[in-house]
Amino acid sequence: MAGCRMKLELSRVALGKGRLGVLKGLGKTGQLSLEVPGCLLHTHLGTVPHLTQDTLSTLSTLPSVTQITLSNIAEHQEVLEEFKDGFRKFAGLHDTVLYCALHDPATPCPTGHTTNKTVSVWGSGGRIELTVAKFMALQKAVKPDWYQSMADGETWQINTSHKRVRKSVDRSLAHLDECLLVHQKSQELEGVEVFGVVEGGDILEERVRSAKETAKRPVSGFCLDGLQTGSMDQALRTQLISAVTKELPEDKPRLLQGVGRPDEVLASVEAGVDLFEGFFPFQVTERGCALIFNFNISSNPELAVLEPGEDQETAGDSQHNGDLNPDDQTQMTSFEINLKDKRYQGDFRPLVEGCGCYCCRNHQRAYLHHLLVTNELLAGVLLMIHNTAHYHAFFSALRDALAEDTLDLLKRRVLGQTERKD
């Protein structure tokens, strides 16, 4: 948008190796920032699942950007309009940048409900159809710091026709133009940033066309949609992202939607992605699992978290890439252990040796196993604390690796490969 404060300052850009920098000018005052590559804080209605704000505040290095979604908020439009002060104050959030997306990345959405003029979201009460007018009325009620434009993203399924993909690109561009028109005339949205959405399914020429046309609009950044886990293999995803990012301006951030697995994050960063949605720890927690993958590449043993060993081999027995299907995100990955397994009932080690989170400092795997098999609510709390801390520490390690030119070593460590010694 004209006069926008958001600015991406890149300190390092290496072809095929990712972008390192800081997204500055965030929030109402423009004083907040977010390091990239980075991920957003995933929430349901402004709350990190299983955690109170007090509990969340015990975690260090949390991102400055909180993600909320219209799929959770749309049914509360009348309440927010009556409240008048926006969602941040309504949810009791403080000192955070509010980003409003369309769909919850952790929840699959039914398809087949878009038209030339509408898209649909699903709340607890069922489907809610959004026109541009209703979509923008919601943004005025929410009062976010930035939001994703309305878009037709229902082309991620395998074998979607070229005609349908082209239509989704055309619709998304038309929605963006309408949103920008309303936005520019709205006093309530003054100072709020808009992210354009790049669509195009798995068709390269449509992806490039969508990127070129979206980049012509006065947007502050870009959402890369329809590339989520389960929609395509990583090689194709990387090819499409690389082609798209070549068409986008260097000084505006690229947010990849629906991708959170560490191996896919690494490949996507190398292809030019800056930001990710932080839903992966929540999915792992809901499975009763704990993230244990190793991202330590420091020679200092005091900084070690987990050396490759039995745990990663055990986790590696689970499905990693798996069959390509929409339910792929619900399946256990090689980056976690299933604490419901009986093997952990007598395991008195922390989830990850050397991890500084509350869970690992105070509890053992055996206790987590007990909480899970007895359906205690505390299990979700402790797992979410650890998984959130571990995942965001991974992004910190990723930034360090880019700064120190050790990304290849980090990739080998995260993927469980040991270095060869001559």
In the predicted structure, residue 416 carries a pLDDT above the cut 90: no
| pLDDT: which is higher, 333 or 154 | 333
Q: Which residue has the tokens 């890439």?
A: 321
> Is the torsion defined by CA of 285, 289, 295, 299 positive or negative?
positive
Exposure string over 92-102, b if 16+ CB within 10 A, otherwise e: ebeebbbbbbb
Q: What's the rounded Cα separation, in Å, for the pair 35 and 396?
A: 9
| pLDDT: which is higher, 3 or 272 | 272
Annotated binding-site members for Zn(2+): 355, 357, 360, 386
Confidence of residue 9 (pLDDT cuts 50, 70, 90): very high
Confidence of residue 417 (pLDDT cuts 50, 70, 90): low
Element containing residue 110 per DSSP (H, E):
none
Spell out the alpha helix ranges (H) of 118-233. 132-142, 162-184, 204-215
Closest CA to 195 of 145, 120, 245, 131: 145
Q: Over range 394-407, report the average pLDDT.
A: 95
State which amino acid sits at residue 185. Answer: K
Residue-wise pLDDT tens digits, 336-370: 999 999 999 999 999 999 999 999 999 999 999 99
Element containing residue 273 per DSSP (H, E):
none
Class for the domain spanning 18-277: alpha beta
pLDDT of residue 359: 97
> Is the torsion defined by CA of 101, 106, 107, 113 positive or negative?
positive
Q: What's the rounded Cα separation, in Å, for the pair 240 and 269?
A: 13
Residue-wise pLDDT tens digits, 48-73: 999 999 999 889 889 999 999 999 99
Q: How far, in whole angstroms, is CA 207 from its chain's centroid?
A: 20
pLDDT of residue 69: 96
- Residue 169: HSE in the Cβ half-sphere, 13 Å Cα cutoff: 22
Residues 6 or more apart whose CB falls under 8 angstroms from that of 45 comprise: 68, 72, 73, 91
Partnered with residue 197 across adjacent β-strands are 223
Annotated binding-site members: 355, 357, 360, 386
In the predicted structure, residue 325 carries a pLDDT above the cut 50: no
pLDDT of residue 412: 93
Phi, psi (5° rounding) for residue 132?
-60, -40
Q: What's the rounded Cα separation, in Å, for the pair 150 and 92?
A: 26
State which amino acid sits at residue 350. Answer: P
Q: What's the rounded Cα separation, in Å, for the pair 377 and 370?
A: 11
The count of residues in the chain is: 422
Closest CA to 220 of 16, 393, 23: 23
Task: Give the pair of three-digit tokens for residue 214.
Answer: 């979206």
pLDDT of residue 299: 55
pLDDT of residue 302: 43
pLDDT of residue 398: 96
Task: Give the pair of three-digit tokens for residue 165.
Answer: 């993909």
Residue-wise pLDDT tens digits, 278-314: 999 999 999 999 999 999 987 554 444 444 445 544 5
Task: Give the pair of three-digit tokens for residue 233.
Answer: 């293999």
Domain boundaries, the chain: 18-277, 332-412
Residues 6 or more apart whose CB falls under 8 angstroms from that of 298 comprise: 304
pLDDT of residue 159: 78
Q: What's the rounded Cα separation, in Å, for the pair 87 and 22?
A: 26
pLDDT of residue 232: 85
pLDDT of residue 421: 36
Q: Taking all residues of the chain, what is their mean pLDDT, rounded to a whole number? A: 89
| pLDDT: which is higher, 19 or 313 | 19
Q: Which residue has the tokens 């720890």?
A: 281
Phi, psi (5° rounding) for residue 355?
-70, 135
Q: What's the rounded Cα separation, in Å, for the pair 52 and 36?
A: 26
Residue-wise pLDDT tens digits, 364-385: 999 999 999 999 999 999 999 9
Instruction: Please answer whether residues 358 and 343 qualify as being in contact, where contact means their C-beta atoms are separated by less than 8 angstroms.
Output: no
Closest CA to 315 of 336, 329, 297, 299: 336
Partnered with residue 66 across adjacent β-strands are 41, 98
Residue-wise pLDDT tens digits, 72-119: 999 999 999 999 999 999 999 988 999 999 999 988 877 778 889 999
Q: What's the rounded Cα separation, in Å, for the pair 81 and 254?
A: 31
Q: What's the rounded Cα separation, in Å, for the pair 38 and 17?
A: 15
Residue-wise pLDDT tens digits, 212-250: 999 999 999 999 999 988 878 889 999 999 999 999 999
